[in-house]
Structure 1
Amino acid sequence: MERTFAMLKPGVLQRRIVGEVLSRFERKGLKIVGLKLMQMDRSLVEAHYKEHVGKEFYEKLVSYTLSGPVVAMVLQGDGVIATVRRLVGPTDVTNAQPGTIRGDFAYQTRLNIVHASDSPASAEREINLFFKEQELIDWEDGNERWF
């Protein structure tokens, strides 16, 4: 089973749509094996977004991510990285189709409401940044045979 990292950014909590966004992952059949509400500190935000250092949007991205709590999660399933990326939609919200999380809920790319790992290497790095191994629970899902 593959694992990926996803994070609901402060705008999701501020708009009170956490449950609605989480349900998209659950209804798809993905298993949540790690979930936590947290306030990130600057060092964690900088480590998470290190590939964007020096880009024109970097400081605004850091400020937005620090502006409120986030919901960090680890999702598990066959092909979960690609599946989550499809559910989330493109980063540029002007290209995000209705029916995707960004297409339905994000208005500005700069205030993007969700982050999703884009590769196995990113998923592993991001999971390790946000979760200790003992915080991940690979529980028995009686419905797995239906997915």
Structure 2
Amino acid sequence: MSTPRRYMPVEHGFYLTSGFEPRWGTFHWGNDYGRDGGSGGYPIFAAQSGTVTAAGPASGFGKWITLDHPTDAGGGLTVYGHIIPEVRAGQQVAAGQRIGHINPNSATNGGVAPHLHFEVHRYVWAAPGPDRLDPTPWLDGASWPVSSRRR
């Protein structure tokens, strides 16, 4: 059986700005990605193939996208927050496909610089706890998506 194809959710040039770790007296349940010179308007990509289960407003994220990944694509659910969706619920997406772009409005993400917040859930949407996975090892060996123009 082959290993499912995974892609980074952002293009080359982005880096981890805040990881899956304690932060500000609580726990940060995902990875934040940004880039020098600002991230607003840059595209985001599906980390694995799957089905869009949510695309739109979400508490704490401004707007988000969630993708359910079938077992043959690697399973689980990924979350993309502080973004502007370019897909709709029910849509099938391919691994590495552009699905949205980072919202340039800092007011939608707690007043910090625009960035992508990315989460990995073991099966389906899970409350904070052991079914939320550290995205860094999950993305180990992931390909960079084909770069696309800034929005």
Q: TM-score, normalised by structure 1?
A: 0.29
Greater share of strand residues, 1 or 2? 2
